[in-house]
Structure 1
C-alpha cells in the first residue's frame, strides 16, 4: 500500500490497515500465520517414548517455520510479534506437537502442565525433560558401546 501526500490517513493507520488486509487475505486463502495450510507429521517420526525423541525433534524442526521453531525450542519470542500473532503461532505449534504424538503415555505428560502454562515452548520443554536422555546417560551408553567391541 503506498502513501500519497494527499492521503487523509496517518502512516500508522495505513500500516494497521495494510496488516489487517494481509491477515484477511491469508484467512481467505486458508493459510495460517506461518504460511502453511496444514502440516502433516510423518507417522514414522511420531513421538512414542525416549527412543524416538531425537528423531521426533529433528522432524519437528522441519515442520515448523523458522520463527515458530525458535519460539518452541528456545522460548524466544521475536520483538515484532503482537499478542495476537504470538497466540496464533502458539496454536499452530501446539497443534503440530499434539498431532506428532502417537502414545497415550506421552500425551499423559501434558496433564502435568497447568492449563494456564500450556504453551508450545512449555509442552516441548516438558516432553524434553521426560524423554530426552541426559548427558550422563548418553556418556554411559557410549562407553558401553565402546567397551562392547
Structure 2
C-alpha cells in the first residue's frame, strides 16, 4: 500500500512540475514574440532615444538625396562619332541577343549537370571485415 501511495505522490509532483514547465515555456514564448516584433522595437527605440533617431533620419535622408540627385553636369556639345564607331555599335547591338541566348543556354546546361551530379547516388565505401572470429595466426 505504501508503494502505491508513493507512486501517486510522485505522479502528482511530476504533473505539478509539468504544469510549471508549461507556464515557463508560455512566458518565454510571449517574451520572445514581443522581442521579434519589429514595429514594437522601432517604437521602443523612438521612445527611448528620439533625438538620435531624428538626427539619424535627417542625415540618412540628406545622404540619400545627394546620392540620388548626383552632381549637376554641364551640357556638353554633341561630338560626332565616326562611321567606324557607329558600325561597331550597330554590330554589338545586333550581337547582344545572340550572346544572351548563348550564355543562358550554357548556364542551363551547367546547372543541369550540377543537379545530376548532386542527385546521383554515391559509391559506398568498401567495408572492412573484422576478423574477430578468425584465430590468431602468427
Which band: TM-score by shorter chain? under 0.3
CA radius of gyration, larger in: 2
Q: Normalised by the size of structure 2, how large is the TM-score?
A: 0.23
Structure scoring higher RCO (CA < 8 A, sep ≥ 6) equals 1
